[in-house]
A and B are shown apart, each in its own frame.
Chain A
Amino acid sequence: MILSRESRRLRRRKMEERIFRALMAVSILIVIGCLVLIVGTIIWKGLPAMSLSMITQIPKGGYYLGKEGGILNAIIGSLYLASGATVLAILFSLPVVLYINVYTKKRSRLASLTRFSFDVLWGIPSIVYGAFGFIIMVFFGLRASLLAGILAVALLEFPIMSRAADEVIRMVPRELLEASYSLGATRLETALKVVVRQCLPGLLTAVLIAFGRGIGDAASVLFTAGFTDRIPTSLLEPAATLPLAIFFQLGTPFPEVQQRAYASAAILTVLILIISLVARGLGKRYTRHIIK
Chain B
Amino acid sequence: MLVLTCVPAFLVLLILVGLFVRARPILAEKPFFSLLFSSAWSPLKGDFGLFPFIMGTLWVTFVSLVLAVPVSLLTAVFLSEYAPRSVREFTKPIIDLLAGLPSVIYGVWGVLLVVPLVGRIIAPFFGVTSSGYTVLAGGIVLAIMIFPTIISVSLEVFSSIPYQMREASLSLGATKWETVRHVVLKKGLQGIIAAIVLGLSRAFGETMAVLMVVGNIPRLPRSVFDGGYPLPALLANNYGEMMSVPLYDAALMLAAAVLLLVVLFFNVLARLILVRVERRAA
Contact = CB atoms under 8 A, between A and B. Distances in A.
Interface string B104-118: 111111011100000
Contact of A16 (B5, B177, B239): B177
Contact of A99 (B4, B112, B177): B4
Contact of A34 (B104, B144, B271): B144
Contacts of B105: 38, 42, 216, 246, 265, 268-269, 272
A280 interface: yes
Interface stretch (B44-52, B129-137, B159-167, B251-259): B251-259
Interface in A220-251: 222-223, 243, 246-247, 250
A132 B252 CA distance: 12
Given A96-B5, A223-B239, A272-B101, A135 B267 contact: no
Interface stretch (A50-58, A108-116, A170-178, A196-204): A108-116
B101 A269 contact: yes
A219 B78 CA distance: 34
Contacts, number: 237
Tier of interface size on chain A? 35 or more
B198 interface: yes
Nearest to B96: A276
B207 interface: yes
Nearest to A18: B177
A252 interface: no
Interface in B227-282: 232, 235-236, 239, 252-253, 256, 259-260, 263-264, 266-268, 271, 275
A99 B2 contact: yes
A120 B207 contact: no
A250 B212 contact: yes
A113 B9 contact: yes
A265 B177 contact: no
Contact of B4 (A16, A35, A96, A280): A96
B24 interface: no
Given A24-B77, A132-B18, A219 B232 contact: yes
A42 B198 CA distance: 28
A203 B204 CA distance: 30
B19 A131 contact: yes
Contacts of B111: 250
A262 interface: yes
Nearest to B204: A125
A17 B108 contact: no
B112 A117 contact: no
A116 to B, nearest CB: 6
A243 B177 contact: no
A68 to B, nearest CB: 23
A261 interface: yes
A45 B111 CA distance: 12
A67 B96 CA distance: 38
B124 interface: no
A117 B15 CA distance: 13
A183 interface: no
A278 interface: no
Given A35-B98, A272-B101, A123 B108 contact: no
Given A217-B102, A223-B239, A120 B267 contact: yes
12 contacts: A16-B175, A16-B177, A27-B70, A31-B95, A95-B5, A99-B4, A120-B264, A121-B12, A126-B205, A131-B252, A158-B8, A250-B111
9 nearest A-B pairs in the assembled complex, by CB-CB distance: A125-B205, A216-B102, A123-B267, A117-B8, A27-B74, A24-B78, A219-B207, A131-B256, A243-B104
